[in-house]
Amino acid sequence: MTKAKGPAPPTFDAAFKERFRDLVLWRRDVRRFRSDPVDDALLRHLLELASRSPSVGHSQPWRFVVVNDASRRAAVAASFRRANVSALEGYAGEQRARYARLKLEGLNEAPMHLAVFADEETPAGNGLGRQTMPETIRYSVVAAVQTLWLAARAEGLGIGWISIVEPDVIKEALDVPGSWTLVAYLCIGWPVEEHMDPELERQAWEARSEVILVER
Amino acid sequence: MTKAKGPAPPTFDAAFKERFRDLVLWRRDVRRFRSDPVDDALLRHLLELASRSPSVGHSQPWRFVVVNDASRRAAVAASFRRANVSALEGYAGEQRARYARLKLEGLNEAPMHLAVFADEETPAGNGLGRQTMPETIRYSVVAAVQTLWLAARAEGLGIGWISIVEPDVIKEALDVPGSWTLVAYLCIGWPVEEHMDPELERQAWEARSEVILVER
């Protein structure tokens, strides 16, 4: 390994790797938040780090929207309720009863709402890498969300990703440019409790799967 | 914060957070690999960790394919060459010349090829969270790729994501189930060099952007 100039590349020892493993294992989708606020400077710090995630053609297409306006938050919550009622109607019997008991979001409790979009028309990157797989512009934003999630957990901060919303309604409610696609609507705040197992496992909705790895 | 039973939740100190920042900043898209092999047990270890990434409805839809067969690898390389020639034709003048000079993949050098798919029809998760944003099944796989990428970097291992391929051709060449969608084709190996700046910055293809954060 050679390195011509600049800071020396880091190496990561066994203790770090063990802690990183803890970080990954203890990252949860949080739906129960305390009411105390999240500092804007902390969010900015986390987003600076998330923005060092990989992006197709170095396009850096992530666009972050903090949602503070009460009427906009109400529109998001209404969208969740509609989408959730519709989803509930797709289940029957005991599964329907179990779905109805799940707590799937913390929209009312979370002190911070962060919508994350992909700018589909950013000139950055000059289209490199996006001709045959244009979805990679959105995938780049997902990579940033996962980095944000881990960085937040390292601070003790919880994140919940709400996918039970109508993307067009959210986009309209937040009045963002037409070229932006909603990738993730996140609730952010200090968690009421910490767990190593996902809530959907504890509620017996779905179990941990084996890793599927095949050779070709 | 309360915790009823099981292992105590970890806290992450300033030293860890500083190292985690180094990890994120020194993760690169690698295209120059040494020829020495990557141990299968190391890959398995990394995939176990990546599989602790968030997934919609706890669906865990990631499907990993190690590509060892020479004729399959050749089909992937041919797909890259076709897609890359087509992409080159979309540029003109100096930009075209600069595109032609970029090294965009390490398919021939990388000792390990890993294709990562999303199983669009997995019963796991019972469809939870996927009704209005079905793309979240693929986004879950991207989150796993980013976790894998960081975990690999902690081991000193490099990853390059090749999006300049034809997804249908790759799927056919690898003979995977019809319900699987290609999310990422990854080259994995020990990097020849380490950098803190992306190659596309060093080659003046694209610069680092400011974080775009707006309030609504």
**Segment A129-170, tens digit of pLDDT:** 999 999 999 999 999 999 999 999 999 999 999 999 999 999
> Do residue B206 and residue A147 have CB atoms under 8 angstroms apart?
no
Using an 8 Å Cβ cutoff, are A165 and A115 in contact? Answer: no
> Do residue A151 and residue B208 have CB atoms under 8 angstroms apart?
no
Q: What is the 3-class SS of chain A, one letter each residue?
A: CECCCCCCCCCCCHHHHHHHHHHHHCCCECCCECCCCCCHHHHHHHHHHHCCCCCHHHCCCEEEEECCCHHHHHHHHHHHHHHHHHHHCCCCHHHHHHHHHCCCCCCCCCCEEEEEEEECCCCCCCCCCCCCCCCHHHHHHHHHHHHHHHHHHHCCCEEEEECCCCHHHHHHHHCCCCCEEEEEEEEEECECECCCCCHHHHCCCCCCCCCCEEEC
A159 HSE (CA, 13 A, CB side)? 24
pLDDT of residue B7: 85
Identify the band that residue A22 occupies on the pLDDT scale cut at 50, 70 and 90. very high
Q: C-alpha distances in angstroms, A70 versus A34, A40, A93, A103, A112? A: 18, 18, 36, 22, 12
Fold for the domain defined by A29-192: NADH Oxidase (3.40.109)
Identify the band that residue A7 occupies on the pLDDT scale cut at 50, 70 and 90. confident
pLDDT of residue B173: 98
> Do residue B65 and residue A214 have CB atoms under 8 angstroms apart?
yes
Closest-CA residue in chain B for A51?
Answer: B211
Interface test with A, best of B39, B120, B135, B163 (most A CBs within 10 A): B163
Using an 8 Å Cβ cutoff, are A170 and A185 in contact? Answer: yes
Contacts 24+ apart (CB under 8 A), A86-90: A86/B131, A86/B132, A87/A164, A87/B127, A87/B128, A87/B131, A90/B127, A90/B131
Closest-CA residue in chain A for B182?
Answer: A133
Sheet containing A62-66, strands listed edge to edge, beginning at the edge strand earlier in sequence:
A158-162, A180-189, A112-119, A62-66, B213-215
The domain segmentation of chain B, as residue ranges, is 31-192
Q: Which of B1, B58, B151 sits opposite A193 (nearest CB)?
A: B1
Rounded distance between C-alpha atoms, residue B213 and residue B216, angstroms? 10
Shortest distance, CA A18 to any CA of chain B (angstroms): 10
pLDDT of residue B4: 56
> Do residue B139 and residue A138 have CB atoms under 8 angstroms apart?
yes
Q: Indicate if the pLDDT at residue B2 is higher than 70.
A: no
At B106-147, the pLDDT tens digits run 999 999 999 999 999 999 999 999 999 999 999 999 999 999
At B146-160, the pLDDT tens digits run 999 999 999 999 999
Among candidate residues A47, A54, A174, the one with its CA nearest the CA of residue B28: A54
pLDDT of residue A4: 56
Planar angle of CA A81, B213, A194, nearest 5 degrees: 55
Rounded distance between C-alpha atoms, residue B58 and residue B47, angstroms? 16
Q: Which of A91, A154, A212 sits opposite B20 (nearest CB)?
A: A154
> Do residue A87 and residue B128 have CB atoms under 8 angstroms apart?
yes
Planar angle of CA B160, B165, B171, nearest 5 degrees: 105
Question: Which CATH code of 3.40.50.10540, 3.40.109.10, 3.40.50.150, 3.40.50.2300 fits the domain covering B31-192?
Answer: 3.40.109.10
Rounded distance between C-alpha atoms, residue B38 and residue A56, angstroms? 25
3-state secondary structure of B159: strand
Q: Indicate if the pLDDT at residue B3 is higher than 90.
A: no
Is the dihedral angle over the CA atoms A118, A121, A126, A131 positive or is it negative?
A: positive
pLDDT of residue A68: 98
Identify the band that residue A44 occupies on the pLDDT scale cut at 50, 70 and 90. very high
pLDDT of residue A5: 65
3-state secondary structure of B65: strand
The tokens for B88 are: 């080159």
At A173-215, the pLDDT tens digits run 999 999 999 999 999 999 999 999 999 999 999 999 999 999 9
Identify the band that residue B5 occupies on the pLDDT scale cut at 50, 70 and 90. low
Mean pLDDT of chain B: 96
Using an 8 Å Cβ cutoff, are A164 and A83 in contact? Answer: yes
